[in-house]
Structure 1
Amino acid sequence: MRNVEQEIKYITNHVFGIKEEEIHVESRLKEDLGLDSLDTMEWVLELETEFNISISVEDGVNFKK
């Protein structure tokens, strides 16, 4: 069973092809992982689905960029 951090890494790898070992808690979505704003919203939707949560648009755009 994966913990939350491992699951987020898995989702990020699966959706965007970024190697899990390149994803860190401190990673910035744009600068470090190369995600643009559309990618970020797709990532948020994946997290919402996987964890059965709701993330507001405001919170979504305020993730580390």
Structure 2
Amino acid sequence: MSQVLGTERSHLNPIREALRADDGALHHRLLSIREEVGLPEEISALRVFDVIAWMDGKSRGLEECSDLGR
């Protein structure tokens, strides 16, 4: 969908910048979380971030909003 709307990069760039900021502090924290929960190294820091964001949204009751009118 993002490719059709031309927004593919607009939502990834802030995440990419956040992962690189402060000498990669967020990236290192996500890798630390991955290690703490016993996930394999094949799971990327971005995927860890994705799951944490999804879990946070779900706990706030935001999952209904993500259906985009389906």
TM-score, structure 2 normalization: 0.29
Bigger Cα Rg = 2
Decide which structure has greater helix share: 2
